[in-house]
Amino acid sequence: MISWPEGDGAFRVQTVPEISEVTRAAAEKEALFRSILENRKTVFWICLGYARDFVEAEELAQEVFFKAWTKIDSVRDRGRHREWLCRVARNTCLDYQKKRRLRRLFQGGFTKDARDIRTPETLAVYRDELRLLKSAVRALPRKLKETFILRGYGGLSYREIAAILEIKEGTVMSRLSEAREKIKSRMRGRTHGG
Amino acid sequence: MEPGQVDEIQDLIRGEKEEAERSFEGQRFDTQLFERIHKSTGGRPATWLFFLRTPGPVMAFSVFVLVLAGFLLFRTFSSSPFQGTVRAMSAVLAEAGDGRRITEQGRMSRRIAGAEYTEFGWALKGVLYACERQSLGDVSLADALSPLFLEKASRAVSNQDGESASSPRVESPKLRTGEDFQMFFTGFLRKFEEV
Protein backbone atom coordinates (compact mmCIF):
# COMPACT_ATOMS: atom_id res chain seq x y z
CA MET A 1 0.00 0.00 0.00
CA ILE A 2 1.24 3.45 -0.83
CA SER A 3 1.38 5.80 2.11
CA TRP A 4 3.36 8.74 3.37
CA PRO A 5 6.37 7.31 5.10
CA GLU A 6 6.95 7.88 8.76
CA GLY A 7 9.75 10.11 9.95
CA ASP A 8 11.64 12.83 8.17
CA GLY A 9 11.91 11.72 4.56
CA ALA A 10 13.71 14.91 3.58
CA PHE A 11 16.66 13.95 5.77
CA ARG A 12 16.97 10.64 4.02
CA VAL A 13 16.86 12.32 0.64
CA GLN A 14 19.66 14.65 1.69
CA THR A 15 21.88 11.68 2.48
CA VAL A 16 22.40 11.48 -1.28
CA PRO A 17 23.56 15.07 -1.75
CA GLU A 18 25.09 14.59 -5.14
CA ILE A 19 21.83 13.85 -6.85
CA SER A 20 20.71 17.34 -7.83
CA GLU A 21 19.37 20.71 -6.84
CA VAL A 22 16.04 19.68 -8.30
CA THR A 23 15.83 16.76 -5.93
CA ARG A 24 16.76 18.98 -2.99
CA ALA A 25 14.04 21.44 -3.96
CA ALA A 26 11.59 18.55 -4.23
CA ALA A 27 12.66 17.34 -0.78
CA GLU A 28 12.15 20.81 0.69
CA LYS A 29 8.75 20.99 -0.93
CA GLU A 30 7.86 17.64 0.52
CA ALA A 31 9.09 18.63 3.97
CA LEU A 32 6.95 21.75 3.86
CA PHE A 33 3.96 19.75 2.73
CA ARG A 34 4.57 17.34 5.59
CA SER A 35 4.39 20.28 8.01
CA ILE A 36 1.23 21.47 6.31
CA LEU A 37 -0.26 18.01 6.54
CA GLU A 38 0.11 18.10 10.31
CA ASN A 39 -2.81 20.53 10.30
CA ARG A 40 -5.12 17.99 8.74
CA LYS A 41 -7.42 17.95 11.76
CA THR A 42 -7.79 21.74 11.81
CA VAL A 43 -8.62 21.71 8.11
CA PHE A 44 -11.03 18.86 8.63
CA TRP A 45 -12.82 20.82 11.37
CA ILE A 46 -13.08 23.93 9.20
CA CYS A 47 -14.47 21.83 6.36
CA LEU A 48 -16.90 20.24 8.78
CA GLY A 49 -18.19 23.72 9.56
CA TYR A 50 -18.94 24.33 5.90
CA ALA A 51 -20.03 20.80 4.98
CA ARG A 52 -23.28 19.07 5.78
CA ASP A 53 -21.61 16.05 7.33
CA PHE A 54 -18.24 14.49 8.02
CA VAL A 55 -18.18 12.50 4.77
CA GLU A 56 -18.46 15.72 2.83
CA ALA A 57 -15.99 17.36 5.20
CA GLU A 58 -13.39 14.71 4.50
CA GLU A 59 -13.85 15.10 0.76
CA LEU A 60 -13.45 18.83 1.14
CA ALA A 61 -10.34 18.38 3.29
CA GLN A 62 -8.87 16.17 0.57
CA GLU A 63 -9.55 18.91 -1.93
CA VAL A 64 -7.92 21.48 0.35
CA PHE A 65 -4.73 19.48 0.73
CA PHE A 66 -4.61 18.66 -2.93
CA LYS A 67 -4.84 22.38 -3.72
CA ALA A 68 -2.23 23.05 -1.06
CA TRP A 69 0.12 20.61 -2.80
CA THR A 70 -0.42 22.16 -6.20
CA LYS A 71 -0.01 25.71 -4.90
CA ILE A 72 2.71 25.04 -2.36
CA ASP A 73 5.20 27.16 -4.27
CA SER A 74 3.13 30.22 -3.44
CA VAL A 75 3.89 29.88 0.28
CA ARG A 76 5.95 33.00 0.95
CA ASP A 77 6.47 32.76 4.68
CA ARG A 78 7.08 29.14 5.58
CA GLY A 79 6.70 29.91 9.26
CA ARG A 80 3.11 30.97 8.66
CA HIS A 81 2.04 28.07 6.50
CA ARG A 82 -0.86 27.30 8.86
CA GLU A 83 -2.51 30.61 8.07
CA TRP A 84 -1.88 30.06 4.39
CA LEU A 85 -3.44 26.60 4.61
CA CYS A 86 -6.51 27.90 6.45
CA ARG A 87 -6.91 30.51 3.74
CA VAL A 88 -6.79 27.76 1.11
CA ALA A 89 -9.33 25.81 3.14
CA ARG A 90 -11.65 28.77 3.43
CA ASN A 91 -11.47 29.53 -0.31
CA THR A 92 -11.97 25.89 -1.23
CA CYS A 93 -15.03 25.65 1.01
CA LEU A 94 -16.49 28.86 -0.38
CA ASP A 95 -15.98 27.56 -3.92
CA TYR A 96 -17.60 24.32 -2.92
CA GLN A 97 -20.62 26.15 -1.51
CA LYS A 98 -21.01 28.14 -4.70
CA LYS A 99 -20.93 24.95 -6.76
CA ARG A 100 -23.45 23.32 -4.46
CA ARG A 101 -25.77 26.29 -4.78
CA LEU A 102 -25.47 26.18 -8.56
CA ARG A 103 -26.11 22.46 -8.59
CA ARG A 104 -29.23 22.96 -6.56
CA LEU A 105 -30.36 25.71 -8.89
CA PHE A 106 -29.96 23.53 -11.96
CA GLN A 107 -31.51 20.52 -10.31
CA GLY A 108 -34.56 22.61 -9.37
CA GLY A 109 -33.98 22.54 -5.64
CA PHE A 110 -35.87 19.29 -5.30
CA THR A 111 -32.94 17.05 -4.68
CA LYS A 112 -33.03 15.06 -1.52
CA ASP A 113 -30.65 15.97 1.23
CA ALA A 114 -27.91 13.39 1.61
CA ARG A 115 -28.94 12.79 5.20
CA ASP A 116 -32.44 11.74 4.19
CA ILE A 117 -31.20 8.58 2.59
CA ARG A 118 -28.81 7.55 5.35
CA THR A 119 -28.96 4.60 7.65
CA PRO A 120 -30.64 4.96 11.04
CA GLU A 121 -27.22 4.83 12.71
CA THR A 122 -26.01 7.83 10.75
CA LEU A 123 -29.23 9.64 11.27
CA ALA A 124 -28.84 9.20 14.99
CA VAL A 125 -25.59 11.13 14.82
CA TYR A 126 -27.31 14.14 13.41
CA ARG A 127 -29.64 15.09 16.12
CA ASP A 128 -32.25 17.74 15.61
CA GLU A 129 -30.30 20.30 17.53
CA LEU A 130 -27.23 19.74 15.51
CA ARG A 131 -29.24 19.98 12.35
CA LEU A 132 -30.63 23.27 13.54
CA LEU A 133 -27.17 24.54 14.35
CA LYS A 134 -25.80 23.61 10.97
CA SER A 135 -28.75 25.14 9.26
CA ALA A 136 -28.28 28.34 11.27
CA VAL A 137 -24.57 28.46 10.43
CA ARG A 138 -25.31 27.94 6.76
CA ALA A 139 -27.79 30.78 6.83
CA LEU A 140 -25.24 33.24 8.21
CA PRO A 141 -23.88 35.99 5.95
CA ARG A 142 -20.58 34.98 4.44
CA LYS A 143 -18.36 37.21 6.58
CA LEU A 144 -19.98 36.08 9.82
CA LYS A 145 -20.05 32.46 8.75
CA GLU A 146 -16.37 32.21 7.90
CA THR A 147 -15.38 33.94 11.13
CA PHE A 148 -17.61 31.67 13.17
CA ILE A 149 -16.39 28.50 11.45
CA LEU A 150 -12.73 29.39 11.80
CA ARG A 151 -13.23 30.01 15.50
CA GLY A 152 -15.96 27.54 16.44
CA TYR A 153 -14.88 24.60 14.29
CA GLY A 154 -11.27 25.33 13.41
CA GLY A 155 -10.41 26.49 16.92
CA LEU A 156 -8.16 29.22 15.57
CA SER A 157 -7.08 32.16 17.69
CA TYR A 158 -8.39 35.66 17.08
CA ARG A 159 -4.98 36.65 15.78
CA GLU A 160 -4.92 33.78 13.29
CA ILE A 161 -8.44 34.52 12.09
CA ALA A 162 -7.57 38.19 11.72
CA ALA A 163 -4.53 37.26 9.62
CA ILE A 164 -6.47 34.81 7.44
CA LEU A 165 -9.37 37.15 6.78
CA GLU A 166 -7.12 40.22 6.73
CA ILE A 167 -9.19 42.10 9.28
CA LYS A 168 -8.53 43.47 12.76
CA GLU A 169 -8.84 41.29 15.84
CA GLY A 170 -11.56 43.59 17.13
CA THR A 171 -13.55 42.95 13.96
CA VAL A 172 -13.13 39.22 14.52
CA MET A 173 -14.61 39.53 17.99
CA SER A 174 -17.51 41.65 16.88
CA ARG A 175 -18.27 39.32 13.96
CA LEU A 176 -18.19 36.33 16.28
CA SER A 177 -20.56 37.99 18.68
CA GLU A 178 -22.93 38.87 15.86
CA ALA A 179 -22.72 35.38 14.41
CA ARG A 180 -23.59 33.79 17.74
CA GLU A 181 -26.53 36.13 18.15
CA LYS A 182 -27.89 35.22 14.75
CA ILE A 183 -27.38 31.50 15.31
CA LYS A 184 -29.06 31.70 18.67
CA SER A 185 -32.06 33.59 17.39
CA ARG A 186 -32.45 31.31 14.38
CA MET A 187 -32.23 28.18 16.48
CA ARG A 188 -34.69 29.58 18.97
CA GLY A 189 -37.07 30.60 16.20
CA ARG A 190 -36.92 27.18 14.57
CA THR A 191 -37.42 25.40 17.88
CA HIS A 192 -40.43 27.51 18.78
CA GLY A 193 -41.79 27.40 15.28
CA GLY A 194 -41.47 23.60 15.20
CA MET B 1 -26.14 36.95 24.75
CA GLU B 2 -26.92 34.26 27.26
CA PRO B 3 -23.82 32.33 28.29
CA GLY B 4 -25.80 29.10 28.38
CA GLN B 5 -26.74 29.50 24.75
CA VAL B 6 -23.12 29.95 23.69
CA ASP B 7 -22.13 26.86 25.66
CA GLU B 8 -24.92 24.95 23.98
CA ILE B 9 -23.58 25.95 20.58
CA GLN B 10 -20.06 24.96 21.62
CA ASP B 11 -21.35 21.65 23.01
CA LEU B 12 -23.13 20.89 19.77
CA ILE B 13 -20.03 21.66 17.76
CA ARG B 14 -17.90 19.58 20.13
CA GLY B 15 -20.34 16.68 19.79
CA GLU B 16 -20.28 16.92 16.03
CA LYS B 17 -16.50 17.02 16.00
CA GLU B 18 -16.28 13.99 18.27
CA GLU B 19 -18.60 12.04 15.99
CA ALA B 20 -16.63 13.13 12.95
CA GLU B 21 -13.31 12.31 14.57
CA ARG B 22 -14.40 8.72 15.09
CA SER B 23 -14.79 8.30 11.34
CA PHE B 24 -11.65 10.22 10.48
CA GLU B 25 -8.60 8.06 9.97
CA GLY B 26 -5.43 10.01 9.39
CA GLN B 27 -3.64 7.14 7.69
CA ARG B 28 -6.47 6.51 5.24
CA PHE B 29 -6.76 10.23 4.61
CA ASP B 30 -3.05 10.52 3.82
CA THR B 31 -3.12 7.45 1.59
CA GLN B 32 -6.02 8.78 -0.45
CA LEU B 33 -4.37 12.16 -0.67
CA PHE B 34 -1.07 10.70 -1.81
CA GLU B 35 -2.79 8.56 -4.43
CA ARG B 36 -4.54 11.60 -5.78
CA ILE B 37 -1.35 13.61 -5.91
CA HIS B 38 0.45 10.68 -7.47
CA LYS B 39 -2.24 10.35 -10.13
CA SER B 40 -2.33 14.06 -10.89
CA THR B 41 1.43 14.28 -11.33
CA GLY B 42 1.48 11.25 -13.58
CA GLY B 43 3.53 9.46 -10.96
CA ARG B 44 6.70 11.28 -11.97
CA PRO B 45 7.82 13.39 -8.97
CA ALA B 46 6.28 11.17 -6.37
CA THR B 47 7.87 8.07 -7.86
CA TRP B 48 11.19 9.83 -7.91
CA LEU B 49 10.88 10.81 -4.27
CA PHE B 50 9.78 7.39 -3.16
CA PHE B 51 12.51 5.82 -5.20
CA LEU B 52 14.97 7.88 -3.20
CA ARG B 53 13.44 7.01 0.11
CA THR B 54 13.80 3.28 -0.19
CA PRO B 55 17.38 2.13 0.46
CA GLY B 56 17.33 -0.89 -1.92
CA PRO B 57 16.78 1.02 -5.14
CA VAL B 58 19.16 3.76 -3.97
CA MET B 59 21.91 1.18 -3.52
CA ALA B 60 21.12 -0.45 -6.86
CA PHE B 61 21.10 2.92 -8.57
CA SER B 62 24.41 3.92 -6.95
CA VAL B 63 26.04 0.65 -8.00
CA PHE B 64 24.73 1.10 -11.52
CA VAL B 65 26.13 4.64 -11.69
CA LEU B 66 29.51 3.49 -10.37
CA VAL B 67 29.69 0.59 -12.83
CA LEU B 68 28.73 2.87 -15.70
CA ALA B 69 31.30 5.49 -14.66
CA GLY B 70 33.97 2.79 -14.31
CA PHE B 71 33.17 1.38 -17.72
CA LEU B 72 33.32 4.81 -19.35
CA LEU B 73 36.59 5.66 -17.61
CA PHE B 74 38.09 2.32 -18.61
CA ARG B 75 36.98 2.83 -22.18
CA THR B 76 38.39 6.34 -22.27
CA PHE B 77 41.78 5.70 -20.71
CA SER B 78 42.54 2.15 -21.69
CA SER B 79 44.28 1.93 -25.04
CA SER B 80 44.66 -1.02 -27.32
CA PRO B 81 47.64 -1.11 -29.71
CA PHE B 82 45.30 -0.13 -32.49
CA GLN B 83 43.91 2.86 -30.61
CA GLY B 84 47.46 3.77 -29.66
CA THR B 85 48.39 3.90 -33.32
CA VAL B 86 45.42 6.14 -34.06
CA ARG B 87 46.32 8.48 -31.19
CA ALA B 88 49.94 8.65 -32.20
CA MET B 89 48.91 9.46 -35.72
CA SER B 90 46.46 12.14 -34.60
CA ALA B 91 49.15 13.67 -32.43
CA VAL B 92 51.60 13.77 -35.33
CA LEU B 93 49.01 15.34 -37.58
CA ALA B 94 48.15 17.90 -34.98
CA GLU B 95 51.80 18.75 -34.59
CA ALA B 96 52.15 19.10 -38.35
CA GLY B 97 49.41 21.69 -38.28
CA ASP B 98 46.96 20.27 -40.78
CA GLY B 99 45.41 17.67 -38.63
CA ARG B 100 44.29 20.00 -35.84
CA ARG B 101 42.04 22.01 -38.09
CA ILE B 102 40.45 19.04 -39.75
CA THR B 103 39.94 17.36 -36.39
CA GLU B 104 38.21 20.44 -35.00
CA GLN B 105 36.11 20.71 -38.12
CA GLY B 106 35.32 17.07 -37.79
CA ARG B 107 34.20 17.49 -34.19
CA MET B 108 32.10 20.47 -35.14
CA SER B 109 30.42 18.83 -38.08
CA ARG B 110 29.95 15.69 -35.99
CA ARG B 111 28.10 17.75 -33.44
CA ILE B 112 26.05 19.59 -36.04
CA ALA B 113 25.19 16.79 -38.40
CA GLY B 114 25.17 14.08 -35.79
CA ALA B 115 27.40 11.93 -37.97
CA GLU B 116 28.97 9.01 -36.18
CA TYR B 117 32.65 9.21 -37.09
CA THR B 118 35.05 7.55 -34.80
CA GLU B 119 38.34 8.98 -33.76
CA PHE B 120 39.95 6.57 -36.14
CA GLY B 121 37.79 7.73 -39.02
CA TRP B 122 38.64 11.35 -38.41
CA ALA B 123 42.29 10.56 -38.06
CA LEU B 124 42.19 8.86 -41.43
CA LYS B 125 40.39 11.84 -42.90
CA GLY B 126 43.07 14.02 -41.42
CA VAL B 127 45.70 12.03 -43.30
CA LEU B 128 43.73 12.17 -46.48
CA TYR B 129 43.29 15.90 -46.14
CA ALA B 130 46.98 16.34 -45.53
CA CYS B 131 47.76 14.30 -48.65
CA GLU B 132 45.17 15.71 -51.00
CA ARG B 133 44.61 19.21 -49.57
CA GLN B 134 40.88 19.07 -50.07
CA SER B 135 38.00 18.91 -47.72
CA LEU B 136 36.58 15.45 -47.14
CA GLY B 137 33.83 16.41 -44.74
CA ASP B 138 30.98 15.10 -46.88
CA VAL B 139 32.84 12.29 -48.59
CA SER B 140 32.39 8.88 -47.11
CA LEU B 141 35.53 7.33 -45.73
CA ALA B 142 35.28 4.29 -47.96
CA ASP B 143 34.95 6.41 -51.12
CA ALA B 144 37.84 8.59 -50.11
CA LEU B 145 40.08 5.73 -49.13
CA SER B 146 39.62 3.29 -51.99
CA PRO B 147 41.31 5.23 -54.83
CA LEU B 148 44.09 6.41 -52.57
CA PHE B 149 44.62 2.98 -51.24
CA LEU B 150 44.95 1.61 -54.74
CA GLU B 151 47.19 4.36 -56.11
CA LYS B 152 49.37 5.41 -53.19
CA ALA B 153 49.77 2.00 -51.71
CA SER B 154 50.97 0.58 -55.04
CA ARG B 155 53.45 3.44 -55.33
CA ALA B 156 54.63 2.81 -51.82
CA VAL B 157 55.22 -0.85 -52.61
CA SER B 158 57.32 0.10 -55.62
CA ASN B 159 59.31 2.54 -53.48
CA GLN B 160 59.74 -0.08 -50.85
CA ASP B 161 61.43 -2.38 -53.33
CA GLY B 162 64.20 0.19 -53.73
CA GLU B 163 64.51 1.13 -50.08
CA SER B 164 64.59 -0.60 -46.77
CA ALA B 165 61.38 -2.26 -45.49
CA SER B 166 60.79 0.07 -42.59
CA SER B 167 61.41 3.67 -43.41
CA PRO B 168 62.64 5.74 -40.47
CA ARG B 169 60.73 8.72 -41.91
CA VAL B 170 57.44 7.05 -41.10
CA GLU B 171 58.29 7.18 -37.43
CA SER B 172 59.42 10.79 -37.64
CA PRO B 173 57.07 13.31 -36.06
CA LYS B 174 58.29 16.06 -38.37
CA LEU B 175 56.07 15.56 -41.37
CA ARG B 176 56.28 18.76 -43.34
CA THR B 177 55.92 17.83 -46.98
CA GLY B 178 53.37 15.98 -49.02
CA GLU B 179 55.88 13.22 -49.58
CA ASP B 180 56.25 12.78 -45.86
CA PHE B 181 52.56 12.49 -45.44
CA GLN B 182 52.27 9.99 -48.23
CA MET B 183 54.92 7.86 -46.63
CA PHE B 184 53.29 8.18 -43.29
CA PHE B 185 49.95 7.26 -44.75
CA THR B 186 51.36 4.20 -46.49
CA GLY B 187 53.02 3.07 -43.30
CA PHE B 188 49.82 3.60 -41.43
CA LEU B 189 47.81 1.55 -43.90
CA ARG B 190 50.31 -1.22 -43.59
CA LYS B 191 49.96 -1.16 -39.83
CA PHE B 192 46.24 -1.07 -40.24
CA GLU B 193 46.36 -4.21 -42.38
CA GLU B 194 48.46 -5.92 -39.76
CA VAL B 195 45.95 -5.07 -37.03
Higher pLDDT, A123 or B59: B59
Q: Does residue A60 share a domain with residue A74?
A: yes
Give the SS3 label for residue B39: helix
Query: What ipTM score was computed for the predicted complex, to two decimals?
Result: 0.71
Count of domains for chain A: 2
Q: Does residue A176 share a domain with residue A87?
A: no
The count of residues in chain B is: 195
Higher pLDDT, A178 or A76: A178
A–B interface: beta-carbon pairs under 8 A: 97
Q: Is the Cβ of B57 closer than 8 Å to some Cβ of chain A?
A: no
Task: Select from A107, A126, A145 the last residue of a domain.
Answer: A126
pLDDT in tens, A65-121: 999 988 888 888 888 888 999 999 999 998 888 888 777 767 654 444 444 444 555
Mean pLDDT (chain A) is 79
pLDDT at B121: 62
- Partners of B9 on chain A (C-beta within 8 Å) are 133, 152, 180, 183-184
Higher pLDDT, B83 or A42: A42
Among A14-23, A34-43, A80-89, B96-105, which stretch is predicted with the lowest mean pLDDT? B96-105
Examine residue A6 and state whether it is found in any structural domain, yes or no: no
pLDDT at A51 over 90: no
Among A1-5, A147-151, A177-181, which stretch is predicted with the lowest mean pLDDT? A1-5
Query: Other CB atoms closer than 10 Å to residue B194's CB: what's the count?
Result: 9
Percent of chain B with pLDDT over 70: 29
Between CA B106 and CA B116 the distance in angstroms is 10
Q: Does residue A80 share a domain with residue A132?
A: no
Contact B26 A40 (CB under 8 A): yes
Q: In A, what residues contact B, Cβ < 8 A?
A: 1-5, 9, 12-13, 16, 19, 23, 26-27, 30, 37, 40-41, 44-45, 48, 54-55, 57-58, 61-62, 65-66, 69-70, 125, 129-130, 133-134, 152-153, 177, 180-181, 183-184
Examine residue A1 and state whether it is found in any structural domain, yes or no: no
Q: Does residue A141 share a domain with residue A87?
A: no
Task: Select from A76, A101, A126 the last residue of a domain.
Answer: A126
- Which three-class secondary structure string do you get for A51-102? CCCHHHHHHHHHHHHHHHHHCHHHCCCHHHHHHHHHHHHHHHHHHHHHHHHH
Q: What CATH number does residue A109 fall under?
A: 1.10.1740
Domain that holds residue A156: 127-194
pLDDT in tens, B71-91: 888 877 765 555 555 566 665
Q: Does residue A91 share a domain with residue A167?
A: no
Q: Does residue A116 share a domain with residue A49?
A: yes
Q: Residue ranges of the domains in chain B?
A: 3-76, 81-194
Q: Flag whether the pTM goes above 0.95.
A: no
